[in-house]
Chain A
């Protein structure tokens, strides 16, 4: 009888690999942490959500292999992202971290990987020692209203204010961006997803910080999606298509950027932190 119970328990035990990876960083404790869980098949949504809550990182990515289209030598996966509270439509840094695990540590020799997501297919390619995300360009446009509210929220007066998905505040130098101490309640009350603060960099083309208290992220350590707006702005202003950027949050991130018209390339390193097994 005991043997039957023991075997039943062993069969019920579900083992899920988990890797915590710092994206947009060449060393641990920097960049933006994501958990990556490769699955053999999809688990119930409630289990995925519970794992993401228990991980308590900004994002946990889960992926399952699917057949590649005929003639495509690169692997394809279905990919989903969960915050500790909910599933989300798009996440750059957890996608970079997933590609890092597949291409750099999974023994796959392919030059890229395609993820099928709620936001459509996302391809990540090798870019020398880095990995590159291919994202849409979202150039910021004029924004004439509510400048006072933004200045009050940031506690500083930007040189220019633009808008895309996010409000886009341009300062004269990196120190002005580094010194910002936003009033998060006021930032959350602004009519935008988040606030990007940016300036020319001293040892890079541009720096930025990203504040999104409305979605529970007072300051994001490194934000791929903010660079969909940053890249076209700085490419035009500096007259160059290849840019090196730093996100100057406390953890800090490094992004190698390319402007390609309708699309942008955002490349970065990934640093492994933890590897383990979840047992349920």
Chain B
């Protein structure tokens, strides 16, 4: 069996930037074990598989070890692949996930916009964040992830976290953020508990970043950079209960796999 495979860098317009994902269009669903084996062989943070159903799509994501319920950057990569490499001319793509979510991706100029829930951070004790980051934040809060606010972009770029201590915090992962120099805010995302010391670009972290910065800066449209080594660019909109996260993608590889 021959399956097309695309490797796309999401949340960047430069190959080797952003967050890489593999995207495999399928005619019909494969056995779960085979999709898991393909994702393990790809060895990227996520491999997305999708099947066209009428005019909408079913979408599933696998890490090298397990299927996951929701993933932002492989969804952006999938939508970009459908619209730019597979010749689909729609302005709106609808994806149905395994747990029943409906994800809508909309073309906005040369970007693609995803609609996500808003998860504003709230004051909560999650452990010794200053020790974990080896730097004292100005402010600490949490939603799904711990949320540490610093004074400047340089403070966030300079962080060298103590990963075992980050993994021991009472939260899924840890977001570090500050006002940006040439953007509204910057962030980094550490998830050693899930074997990701630092994620290059993290859509889901912006579910928490966007409501925080929208309130603090008094604006609903923001441009953000994730200042990991690979780097990512995100165009953000606060819409109350929901947020919009838009980005670009850069192609790396097109090919096929024989299984």
Contacts and interface: CB of A to CB of B under 8 A. Distances in A.
B256 A274 contact: yes
Contact of B255 (A18, A22, A29, A56): A18
Contact of B44 (A28, A50, A56): A56
Interface string A20-35: 1010000011000100
A241 interface: no
A46 to B, nearest CB: 10
A277 B255 contact: yes
B43 A54 contact: no
B16 A53 contact: yes
Interface in B233-259: 251-259
Contacts of B252: 54, 278-279
Interface residues of A, number: 20
Interface in A240-280: 272-280
A12 B107 CA distance: 27
Contacts of A275: 255-256, 258
B255 A272 contact: no
A277 B85 CA distance: 14
B164 to A, nearest CB: 11
A273 B258 contact: yes
A277 B257 contact: no
A57 interface: yes
Interface in A59-91: none
A29 B38 CA distance: 8
B118 interface: no
Contacts of A18: 253, 255
Contacts of B259: 28-29, 273
In this complex, the member of B20, B40, B253 whose beta carbon has the largest number of chain A beta carbons within 10 angstroms is B253
Given A53-B16, A54-B7, A274-B5, A28 B258 contact: yes
B255 A57 contact: no
A277 B7 contact: no
A54 B15 CA distance: 9
B103 interface: no
A272 B258 contact: yes
Contacts of B9: 54
Interface of B: 5, 7, 9, 15-16, 20, 37, 40-41, 43-44, 251-259
14 contacts: A28-B259, A29-B41, A54-B16, A273-B258, A273-B259, A274-B5, A274-B255, A274-B257, A276-B5, A276-B253, A276-B255, A279-B251, A279-B253, A279-B254
* Shortest Cβ-Cβ A-B pairs, 8 listed: A276-B255, A50-B16, A29-B37, A274-B257, A276-B253, A278-B253, A56-B43, A275-B255
